[in-house]
A and B are shown apart, each in its own frame.
Chain A
Amino acid sequence: MTATHEPAAPVGTDVDTDPATLHPITITVNGTEHRLRVEGRRLLVDVLRQDLRLTGTRTGCDQGVCGVCTVRLDGRTVRSCITLAVQADGADVRTIEGVAPDASTLHPIQQAFWEKQGLQCGFCTPGMVLRVQEILEENPTPTRAQVREGISSNLCRCTGYQFIVDAAIEAAAQMAEDGS
């Protein structure tokens, strides 16, 4: 097989090449269905923050490195800054705003972050909480090392991580006690 670099065939005139073209998408965010029209280039994090005003999800590095834009997409943590909104068409999205059971009660993970001082500036916290939630769903009784490994996907510049690990371990114990 020889290596060849041939130019691609020109795109036909019937293909819509206007980047401002709006694509209809349907996404369910924290249980509420939204029918939106978005540009193809629009990031999921921008749709969540700017169109749906769910500003708990942060924008950080824009490269998928830092994890502050973490959301659950069909149950799995993903980087919403390197996911296009059109790629989330038909998906179930969970953000930090959907974690607490009601407006006056914290989720046990959030409560543990509060009690163990698992945050300082708070910028990484939404992503951390969602990632810890996934870690505990996959393994309800993790060791400290397993938590540390699990949250290595998310950067925190304040805490040195120790209190975040404390919070995750505390949350695991609390959730086991609650039977949740």
Chain B
Amino acid sequence: MLAGGQSLLPMLNLRLAEPAHLVDLGPIPDLGFVRRERDRLVVGATARQSAVEHSADVRALVPLLAEAVEHVAHPPIRHRGTVVGSIAHASAVAELPCAALALDARLTLLSADGVRTVDAEEFFTGPFSTVARSDEIVAQVEFPVAGPGTGQAWSEFSLRRGNFPVAGAAVSLTVADGRIVDVSIAVCGVADRPVRARAAEQVLRGAVADEETVERAAAATTSGLAPRAHGDLAAHILPVSAAPVPGWAYRASVARAQVRRAVTTALTRAGGTR
């Protein structure tokens, strides 16, 4: 399946993928939408990343998505690449699958046999692997609209501007009466897929968010994750780069730092600037 082709075409050029059939979703009308439906922002299969990036609606309704998409590669890539295509591609180090996981996004899978919906939590099964069958397309992804008192942030560190991050963190949290009443954190770059940082969430949930608590949450980010062998990590990222692949311990420390930064930013945003 071809949407923008910014992940698939490099793989075809490098002969990492040799599909017998290639179906271009591009000419299908009415799949390029970005619209609000009640308490959800819905992004269609062929909506370009640059359209989402520059949408005032997205920025106001799902600020984490707007911030994460800005970090995807460079503008010429975002002009072609699609939000849904990047999520469906399911890179373990990419921004948008991680943001979708933190936002509890819901994906609509469509085939000749019918329609089903899958939560982001269930969608990713490994590097470049999802529950979508080969006869299904991801027709749209729904993101919950941020409610009052909610602050969101994306933070990542990459070795060069526009590269995939070493690790990144997506945070959405809600503050009421000085306490964090709801929090969702996902990190990329430390496992074979984007993962929720449940232990970090648990530290923050119900807490008064002072600096020490944020620090403890950040430290807990990778506590439930098994260290990964270097060869596994290299296989998790698109194996096209000749650059050295940072090892797990470094990635884990970067992930913890990104969680600290993203939580701090999200708290500030929850506190009234929105």
| Chain A residues close to B by CB (< 8 Å) | 1, 3-9, 11, 15, 17, 40-41, 43, 62-64, 67, 70, 73, 76-79, 81-84, 86-87, 89, 131, 134, 149-150, 152-153
Contact = CB atoms under 8 A, between A and B. Distances in A.
Contacts of A78: 76, 79-80
Nearest to A81: B13
Most chain A CB within a 10 A radius of its CB, from B73, B77, B116, B119: B77
Nearest to A76: B79
Given A40-B22, A78-B76, A78-B79, A3 B9 contact: no
Contacts of A134: 75
Nearest to A3: B131
A40 B235 CA distance: 29
Nearest to A67: B76
A77 B79 contact: yes
Contacts, number: 94
B56 interface: no
A79 B80 contact: yes
Contacts of B122: 1, 3
A62 B131 CA distance: 29
Interface string B1-29: 01001100110111000001110101100
A124 to B, nearest CB: 13
Interface residues of B, number: 36
Contact of B13 (A8, A15, A62, A131): A62
A17 B125 CA distance: 30
Interface of B: 2, 5-6, 9-10, 12-14, 20-22, 24, 26-27, 50, 73-77, 79-80, 112, 116-119, 122, 125, 131, 133-135, 161-162, 240
A83 B10 contact: no
B133 A63 contact: no
B77 A83 contact: no
Contacts of B20: 17
Contact of B77 (A1, A62, A64): A64
Contact of A153 (B24, B74, B131): B74
Given A78-B80, A79-B77, A64 B9 contact: yes
Contacts of A73: 79-80
A86 B74 contact: no
A150 B118 CA distance: 37
Given A1-B117, A1-B118, A3-B131, A63 B10 contact: yes
22 contacts: A1-B118, A3-B125, A4-B131, A5-B133, A8-B133, A8-B135, A11-B21, A15-B21, A17-B20, A40-B22, A43-B9, A63-B13, A76-B76, A78-B76, A82-B5, A82-B10, A83-B5, A84-B5, A150-B75, A153-B73, A153-B77, A153-B162
